[in-house]
A = this chain, B = another copy of it.
Amino acid sequence: MRANIKDVSQAAGVSIKTVSRVINNERYVRPATRARVEEAMAALGFQPSQAARALAGGRSFQIALVCSNPGPYYLHGLIGGLRGRCAAEGVRLIVHAYETETDELGADVLGFFRQMGFDGAILTPPIADNEPVLDELERAGTPYVRISPGAQLDRGPSVSIDNEGAARAMTRKLIDLGHRRIGFVVGHEGFSVSRQRLDGYLNALRECGVTSDGALIRQGWFDFRSGQAAAEQLLALKERPTAIFASSDDMAAGVLSVAHQQALRVPRQLSIAGFDDTDLASLVWPGLTTVRQPIREMAEKAAELLFSGSDERVVMPAELIERASTGPRPA
């Protein structure tokens, strides 16, 4: 049987409260006593029960990461960014990935949060904008940090990039390169960043006096396949775009794959731009520019806000990354 706190207290000849003090690194324990207790703990291979600590202490030593249908790089960046701080704080990371499609209202997530007091939560779109979920969290007194919120903006701490601004800058860059027909692949409808990025694109066109053409705007779903589908449609237009801006990395990769296929016949005529949670996609097409969304750094920052109890709203810089200075220009 596993040793418990009582066994340790007896072995060390102290009360359980003193053992508890040692476990929690509290003050008011004489060094000699502490040493004796630690010795006993080691000898018995004692590890405190998380369940008991959670019940008695009202802390679960767990935080939740909630995200919907995350792409591989996004998920990887989030977990990579959270990992270190969680370990340092002695806290477990519960990953709750759920289907947006089958649970539009977030009922699943609501149930998830009602079930037990987490010590904190990291929320990503679109659940980050879900009012009932935020209400529930606040009611339960669970601190949370939102990543890229798009609604309820005056509510609690968050980390984001300036999506509209980044998309605008990217579009302007394409315009500066001489492009006038720029295809745009919109992200998933349920995510507010999709709208923000589209707005950036439209605003840049308007500001630069470029007429926008609805035929150049295609709905995507943040995934590879929808990027492919959009690219196929765009490249089949009578008046082809000379550049395509896909508003996520998976979609950009989809566009890229189509471009590669078509490049067998029409090589490298196309500028491609994308939002990017990594730098993988940015290396396989000469005329590629991406807005790097520093998702890992955003997650790190989110962890920092969560554990420090800050309620800052942090906007991180998004970097425009050009792989080839010799990107193609339209004929």
Which A residues lie at the B interface, using CB under 8 A? 2, 45, 47-52, 54-55, 60, 62, 70-73, 75-76, 79-80, 83, 87, 92-98, 108, 114-116, 140, 224, 253, 256-257, 260-261, 264, 278, 280, 283-286
Contact pick for A60, options B51, B70, B73, B93, CB 8 Å:
B51
Contact pick for A285, options B49, B52, B260, CB 8 Å:
B260
Is there contact, CB below 8 Å, between A286 and B257? no
Is there contact, CB below 8 Å, between B115 and A50? yes
- Number of this chain's copies in the assembly equals 2
Given known contacts A94-B93, A260-B284, A284-B260, A55 and B51 CB-to-CB distance under 8 angstroms? yes
Is there contact, CB below 8 Å, between A97 and B116? no
7 interchain pairs, CB-CB under 8 A: A48-B115, A50-B115, A54-B54, A75-B76, A75-B79, A83-B98, A94-B95
Distance (whole angstroms) from the CB of A54 to the closest CB of chain B: 4
Is there contact, CB below 8 Å, between A55 and B49? yes
Cβ–Cβ < 8 Å partners of A52 in chain B = 55
User: Which residue of chain B lies nearest to A285 when distances are taken between CB atoms in the complex?
Assistant: B260
Contact pick for A97, options B70, B79, B96, CB 8 Å:
B79
Contact pick for A284, options B71, B80, B257, CB 8 Å:
B257
Given known contacts A49-B55, A73-B72, A284-B260, A95 and B114 CB-to-CB distance under 8 angstroms? no
Distance (whole angstroms) from the CB of A133 to the closest CB of chain B: 15
C-alpha spacing A92/B72, complex, angstroms: 20
Distance (whole angstroms) from the CB of A119 to the closest CB of chain B: 12
Contact pick for A95, options B54, B93, B261, CB 8 Å:
B93
New contact pairs (8) apart from A72-B72, A257-B284, CB-CB < 8 Å: A49-B116, A50-B54, A72-B73, A94-B95, A260-B284, A261-B283, A264-B286, A284-B284
Which 7 pairs across A and B sit closest by C-beta, in order of nearness? A51-B54, A72-B76, A50-B116, A257-B283, A72-B72, A51-B55, A95-B95
Cβ–Cβ < 8 Å partners of A257 in chain B = 283-284
C-alpha spacing A253/B115, complex, angstroms: 42
C-alpha spacing A266/B283, complex, angstroms: 17
